Amino acid sequence: MFAVVWIVIAVAAVVVGGELARRDAQAGMLRQAATASALHAAVLRSELERHRSLPLVLAQDPDLQALLAAPSPQAVERLNRKFEGLAQESRAAAIYVLDLRGVALAASNWREPTSFVGSQYGFRPYFGDALRAGQAAFFALGTVSGRPGLYLSRRVDDAAGQPLGVIVAKVEFDALEDEWRASGEPTYVTDADGVVLITTAPAWRFHTSRPLSQARRQRLAVDQTAGTVALTDLPFKTTAPAMVRLSSDVPPDLYAQASDSVAGSDWTVHLLSPAGATVAQGLIAARTLALLSVALLAGLSGVLLRRRQRAAARTVEAEAARRDLERRIDLRTLELRAANSQLSQEIEERLRLERDRQDLQDELIQANKLATLGQIAAGVAHEINQPIAAIRTHADSAGLYLERQDTAAVGRSLVRIGDLTERVGAITDELRAFSRKTRSEAVAVGVEAAIDGALLLVGPRLRERGVTVERRRGAAGLQVRAERNRLEQVVLNLLQNAIEALETVSAPSVSIAVRERDGSVVIRIADNGPGVSKAMRERLFTPFSTDKHDGLGLGLVISRDIVTSFGGELTLAAGAGGAVFKIVLAKVP
């Protein structure tokens, strides 16, 4: 009984699997044929569009219009050579011009025995249609060559819009048919009446893909073939997409048929993709797979029946093993929770220490800032006292001028008082901003503005010591990634160090230069002092390392940490004399 059941299942699987495989293979071949027909239609459309422009352009040619207006041997020869060159370049089968009688005056094949020159083509439909409608497209056999092709014609008008003749370009599709034939997929093109025009099977040409009326058939026979070929139906059904069988011009086989319209025309591309071998292989593979699957399932069923008894015996052992595993997992989970808790505590402690370190660093930076303010306080106070004294003088003068009713002098004094007040305000605003405790993220900061702020604070001391400042500015609007007050603090620290190093120099000077380099901005601060000793260079940025008798050795360390927090770099550069410090910061686009 067990064997009979599996035999029935095997037969059903082979039948059903074979049918599903056949349908799937046919559907796949139909999709493949549709893709191929779309590609063929695109190639044909490109070929047609390339040749359609030829009559349009030639109809405007002055030499052509001159020939039709006043024919002459010289004009004919000139047009013959021009048409010959254009035919070679455009790969047109022939280019020729007809006068109003339909006589060919010049042609690209004028050198050949089958030359069109002097032949009468007024009876061809493309001549009359072009004269009436301005342009025409007509597929037929050549009356001289007997070769099929598409005739593209366009009327040639004079300046007044009167017709002079017709320019014709014949396009043959032999190369396209050969290319399609090489793919091994029978292909043909039909017009709006279903007449085959272009085909990889020459015997199909001028057959019809659907029934035509007798009157329509007679007219097409005359128009398309000049009465030399009778139109008959194709020897197979042409409903697309579908599977068809051919038995006349190609070996009997199953083909997947697809079609695609050619944009810009009433033509349709039909393609027959060989599908018999693919479908047969799919059937064989599906049936073999079905048999193997049934055999495998039968074997597995037998194995499963034998294993069911063993599985029942092992159930008890598996349950015991599961309970033991759960107990071990619980113990391991407790250990992991304890380790995770300890790790969380260590992370929190590390974060707290990092916050404390950052707070300490900020306090150290603020202390350095306030110490720097203490060093420049006397000079800044003197800088403020001068405008304040001047304000008092101008105020007294304004009172006297007011008593004398000299309003103009009073106005000048008040304007001067305003200017001096702005000067005092600028100094105090810079002091207040500089002394403020900051801890902001790096943003876009104007380089020159930060240097201006530092020079405003240290300016009195520079003038007091007689230090000359040479400054080379960077490009207008140059910005770097930094924080304004802290960048100003770094520049101020370096200027303070330079002033102290220049105490024994007879003509002290400091140079400040800003330049761009490889996406960065370099601020160079140099002095003409004695420079930094070799021993001091090795530990210049080490905390508490200094050669000053009253220094702490923290200014350069703090400055370097500030610049590093911006993603930049502060270094002591080699110089011919004196100390040269470079601040390198990222440029903001």
248, 249, 212: which is closest to 230 by C-alpha? 212
**In b/e form, how buried is each residue of 535-563, taking b as 16+ CB within 10 angstroms?**
eeeeebbeeebbeeeeeebbbbbbbbbbb
12-54+174-274 falls under which CATH superfamily?
PAS domain (3.30.450.20)
Classify residue 588 by its DSSP letter.
Answer: P
CA angle 22, 25, 30 (to 5 degrees): 125
Q: What does the block give as tokens for 274?
A: 């060989």
Judge whether 12-54+174-274 and 438-586 match in fold.
Answer: no
User: In a 3-state reduction of DSSP, which class is residue 237?
Assistant: coil
Would you write out the chain's pLDDT as a tens digit for each of its 589 residues? 656 665 766 667 666 665 676 677 666 767 776 787 788 778 878 777 777 788 888 888 888 888 888 888 888 888 889 888 888 888 888 899 999 898 888 888 888 888 888 888 888 888 888 888 888 888 887 777 778 888 889 898 888 888 989 999 888 888 888 888 887 788 888 877 777 888 877 777 877 777 766 665 665 655 554 434 445 666 666 665 666 666 544 455 677 777 788 777 778 888 777 766 566 666 677 667 766 776 677 667 667 767 877 787 788 888 888 888 888 898 888 888 888 888 888 788 787 766 656 655 555 555 555 555 555 555 555 556 556 655 766 576 667 667 777 777 667 767 667 765 765 665 665 555 555 555 557 788 888 988 888 888 888 888 888 899 999 998 888 999 988 888 888 888 888 888 888 888 888 999 999 999 888 999 999 988 888 877 777 777 777 656 565 555 567 878 888 888 888 999 888 666 788 899 999 998 8
Tell whether pTM > 0.75. no
To which H or E segment does residue 166 belong? strand 163-171
**In b/e form, how buried is each residue of 181-190, taking b as 16+ CB within 10 angstroms?**
eeeebbbbbb
Bridge partners, residue 313, by sequence:
none
Strands (E), 20-88: none
Report CA dihedral (525, 527, 531, 537) to the nearest 10 degrees.
-10
Classify residue 203 by its DSSP letter.
Answer: G
Q: Where are the domains of the chain?
A: 12-54+174-274, 59-171, 438-586
438-586 falls under which CATH superfamily?
Histidine kinase-like ATPase, C-terminal domain (3.30.565.10)
418 neighbors 394 (Cβ within 8 angstroms): no
Pairing of strands 443-446, 268-274: unpaired
User: In a 3-state reduction of DSSP, which class is residue 213?
Assistant: coil
First-to-last C-alpha distance (Å) of the chain: 84
Other C-beta atoms closer than 10 Å to the C-beta of 69 total: 13
User: In a 3-state reduction of DSSP, which class is residue 188?
Assistant: strand
Domain boundaries 59-171, corresponding CATH code? 3.30.450.20
